[in-house]
A = this chain, B = another copy of it.
Amino acid sequence: MLNVVMKVPVHGQGLYDISHRVRRIVDESGVNEGLVTLFVRHTSASLMIQENAAPEARADLQNWLNRLVPERDPLYTHNEEGPDDMPAHIKAALTAVSLGIPLMSGRLVLGTWQGVFLWEHRHGPRDREIVVSVMAYR
């Protein structure tokens, strides 16, 4: 078993591919059959498994979500942390905070077109934290 706190530096909204970093942790664990759990320690960023090939698909996804959850909506009363804060909480609520990915023969069972991403919902640069747990089956 291995618990790793992974720091992901971000420079604003968007999908950051962390697949290779998760794979490296799995390789180092030496676990063949098991379960990887990812958990993001924030309420304004998400975990996302999405299309890893077409960058247009990821751009469309970001633009669609920005239109669904716009900034400066008169509905918001929680404004003190900036116009991107409340939309970020809503976006996080609609997406995943944790993901479970089985391991078979030492590999994540991701499909061919699936990448693992941190989805940052705020504008500024930050260091985000994701806990990666690798658990062996017996």
- Complex copy number for this chain: 3
Chain A interface, >50% SS class? mixed
Tell yes or no: A71 within 8 A of B by CB.
no
Question: Nearest Cβ distance between residue A85 and chain B, in whole angstroms?
Answer: 8
A102 and B138 in contact, given A1-B33, A59-B77, A86-B57 (Cβ under 8 angstroms): no
Task: Tell whether A48 is near chain B: CB-to-CB under 8 Å.
Answer: yes
Q: Give the contacts of A51-107 with B (CB-CB under 8 A).
A: 51, 54, 56-57, 59-61, 63-65, 67-69, 73, 75-78, 86, 89-90, 92-102, 104
Please, which residues of chain B bring their CB within 8 A of the CB of A65? 93
Residues of A at the B interface (CB closer than 8 Å) are: 1, 3, 5, 33, 35, 37, 39, 41-43, 48-51, 54, 56-57, 59-61, 63-65, 67-69, 73, 75-78, 86, 89-90, 92-102, 104, 109-111, 113-114, 129, 131, 133, 135-138
- 10 sample A-B contacts, Cβ–Cβ < 8 Å, listed by A number: A1-B137, A39-B100, A43-B51, A51-B89, A56-B78, A60-B86, A98-B100, A102-B133, A136-B137, A138-B138
